[in-house]
Amino acid sequence: MTAARLPRMTTSRSPLPLLGGLAPDAFMKRYWHKRPLLIRQAIPGFSAPLSREALFALAAQDDVESRLITHARKRWQLDHGPFDIDALPPLTRKQWTLLVQGVNLHAPAVDALMQRFRFIPDARLDDVMISYASDGGGVGPHLDSYDVFLLQAHGKRRWRIGAQRDTTWLDDVPLRILKNFEAEEEWVLEPGDMLYLPPGYAHDGVAEGECMTYSIGFRAPLEQEMLQNFLYYLAENAADLPFARHFAGRYADPKQPAVKHPAALPDAMIDTLISQLERVRWGQKEVEDFLGRWLSEPKSHVFFDPPEKPLSTSRFVHEVSTRGVTLSAKTQLLYRRNRYFVNGEPLEVPISARSTLRILADQRELDAAECADFEQKDQEIVEILYDWYASGWLLLGPDAKGVRKLRAVRKKAG
C-alpha cells in the first residue's frame, strides 16, 4: 500500500474544526493534560476509512497487535491475536470487542487521519487503535495513563466519564476495570464526534448497536522506563562517550592486605567503583542522542517492506523529480537542531542536506517541486533518500497533479 499524501502543516494559531474551532495552541493551553473536551462533529460527515472486514483482516496478521474482549454472564475474558475470522464471535452476539493496535501503520487513510494530530510533537504521538464492538460491547470503566482522542467512526457509543478518586480494581479479571466507577458526565457520540481525555480520567464506553471507535493515543513512558533505557544507552555507548578515557584499565589492588574473612566484600573494590561512578558524566548532547534514538525506534512487531525490484539510482532521481517522496507510515524521523534520527539510528547529515530533511521530517513528504533539482544538488541527499527507499523507509509519491488536487480538497475540508 502507498502512504497517503499529507497537507502542509497549519499554524498553531489557525482554528481547526478538529478541535471544535479552537486553535492548537489554545487547545494545548486550556485542555491538554488538564481536562476533558467533547467536540461535536470534529470531522463533519466523517465516514470510517476502514471497513469492518478490512479491520478483521488486519487482526489476522502476525505483525499486527490485536485483542479480543468478551463479557458474558458477568465474566470478562481477554484473548490475544492474531485471530482468524472464524475465531471471532458472531456479529449477532452482544458484548464483545476487538481492539486492533497500530492500524495507522497498515492503512494509509488511517495514517492520514493520525497526521491531523501533529500539532503535538511526533515524539509523543503513538498510534491509532481501532475498537470494533458489537451491541453492548466495551472494555469496562478504566483509566488510561496517557492522553487520548476518542473519535467515533461508525455507529454510536455511550461514554460516561468522571474524575475518579477511588482507583480500586476488580479482582480476578484479566483487565484493569474500576470497581467503584462514578460517572459525572455522559454523552452518546455519533460518527465525526470526538472526546478528548487527559491521563487518569476515568471513562467507560459502551456500544449502542455495532460501532467502531478510533483511539488516537500518545506515548507517556514511565520515568523509571526512561531512566533505565538511558542507563542502557550509556552502557552500550560507553566506549564512545567522553568519560570513557577514565576507564581504560582494569581493577587493581596492589595494597590489598591479607584477610581473615575472605567472603567479605573488600573495601578497596567498593571505594574504587564509587570513585569511577563519580567520573561518569553526561550532558545535553548525550540526552538528545539517547532520546532521538529511543523515541524513533520502531516497535518490536514493526517490519519494513523493501521494494522487490528497486529502481536504479538514476531512475529513482527521475521518479522523485516527477512524483515526490513520502515517508513510510512505519518510519519515524526526528531531529534536534542539526542532529537527525531515523528508525532508531543517528544520522550524520551534511549541511547541504539538512534543510531538505527537516522539511521531510515535518511534512513527512517532499513534493515533486522540492525534488526537481536533486540531480543538481549535493549527491549526499540523493544517497540518503535512495538508501531509505531501498530499505522500505521511504516511498515514491503520486504524481504532482494528484498531490495538488488532494491538498485542495483537504484545505477546503479544514
For residues 343 and 330, give the distance between their C-alpha atoms in angstroms, rounded to a whole number.
9
Does residue 171 lie in a domain region?
Answer: yes
| Residue type for position 382 | V
Q: Is 117 helix (H, G, I), strand (E, B) or coil?
A: coil
Does residue 267 lie in a domain region?
Answer: no
Residue position matching grid coordinates 526537481: 372
User: What is the predicted pLDDT for the residue at 411?
Assistant: 47
Does residue 233 lie in a domain region?
Answer: no
Q: How many CB atoms lie within 10 A of CB 384?
A: 21
Residue position matching grid coordinates 591479607: 258
Task: Show Cβ contacts of residue 227 under 8 Å, excluding neighbours closer than 6 positions.
Answer: none
Query: How far separated are the first and last CA of the chain, in Å rounded?
Result: 25
For residues 374 and 324, give the distance between their C-alpha atoms in angstroms, rounded to a whole number.
11
CATH of the domain at 347: 3.40.366.30
Q: Is 407 helix (H, G, I), strand (E, B) or coil?
A: helix
Same domain, 24 and 132: yes
For residues 218 and 128, give the distance between their C-alpha atoms in angstroms, rounded to a whole number.
9
Q: Model pTM?
A: 0.88
For residues 122 and 327, give the distance between their C-alpha atoms in angstroms, rounded to a whole number.
14
How many Å is the Cα radius of gyration of the chain? 25
For residues 363 and 359, give the distance between their C-alpha atoms in angstroms, rounded to a whole number.
6
Q: Across the chain, how many H-helices and E-strands are there?
A: 11, 15
User: What is the predicted pLDDT for the residue at 278?
Assistant: 86
Residue 150, domain extent? 17-218
| Residue type for position 254 | P
Does residue 246 lie in a domain region?
Answer: no
Does residue 138 lie in a domain region?
Answer: yes
Q: What would the DSSP string read from start to end of 32-52? A: TTT--EEETTSSTT---SS-H
For residues 234 and 287, give the distance between their C-alpha atoms in angstroms, rounded to a whole number.
10
Let me know how long the chain is. 414
* Grid cell at residue 19: 478541535
Q: Is 202 helix (H, G, I), strand (E, B) or coil?
A: strand
Same domain, 208 and 327: no
| Helix 379-391 and helix 313-323, axial crossing angle in degrees, nearest 10 | 90
* Grid cell at residue 73: 454472564
Domain count, the chain: 2
Does residue 96 lie in a domain region?
Answer: yes
Nearest to 19 by CA among 6, 32, 1, 7: 32
DSSP state of 50: S
Same domain, 75 and 182: yes
Whether the link from the prior residue into 82 is cis, omega within 30° of 0, is: yes
Provide the β-strand partners of residue 154.
Answer: 212
Does residue 37 lie in a domain region?
Answer: yes
User: What is the predicted pLDDT for the residue at 414?
Assistant: 44
Kindly give the confidence (pLDDT) of every residue in the chain, 414 residues in length, as a single tens digit, with 9 standing for 90 and above. Answer: 333 444 455 568 788 889 999 999 999 999 999 999 999 999 999 999 999 999 999 999 999 999 999 999 889 999 999 999 999 999 999 999 999 999 999 999 999 999 999 999 999 999 999 999 999 999 999 999 999 999 999 999 999 999 999 999 999 999 999 999 999 999 999 999 999 999 999 999 999 999 999 999 999 999 999 999 999 999 888 888 877 776 767 888 999 999 999 999 999 999 989 988 888 889 999 999 999 999 999 999 999 999 999 999 999 999 999 999 999 999 999 999 899 999 999 998 989 889 999 999 999 999 998 888 776 666 889 999 999 999 999 999 874 444 444 444 444 444
Report the b/e string of 22-31 with b at 16+ CB within 10 A.
bbbeebbeeb
Q: Is 319 exposed, middle or buried (CB count within 10 Å of its CB: 0-12, 13-18, 19+)? A: middle
User: What is the predicted pLDDT for the residue at 3?
Assistant: 39
Torsion of CA 150, 152, 158, 163, to 10 degrees: 10
Last residue in a domain, options 218, 248, 274: 218
* Grid cell at residue 287: 540526552
CATH of the domain at 165: 2.60.120.650
Provide the β-strand partners of residue 334.
Answer: 341
Same domain, 319 and 199: no
Task: Show Cβ contacts of residue 408 under 8 Å, excluding neighbours closer than 6 positions.
Answer: none
Does residue 146 lie in a domain region?
Answer: yes
User: What is the predicted pLDDT for the residue at 412?
Assistant: 44
User: What is the predicted pLDDT for the residue at 298?
Assistant: 95
Last residue in a domain, options 173, 189, 218: 218
- C-alpha distances in Å from residue 260, one per residue of 257, 263, 264, 266, 398: 10, 9, 9, 11, 79
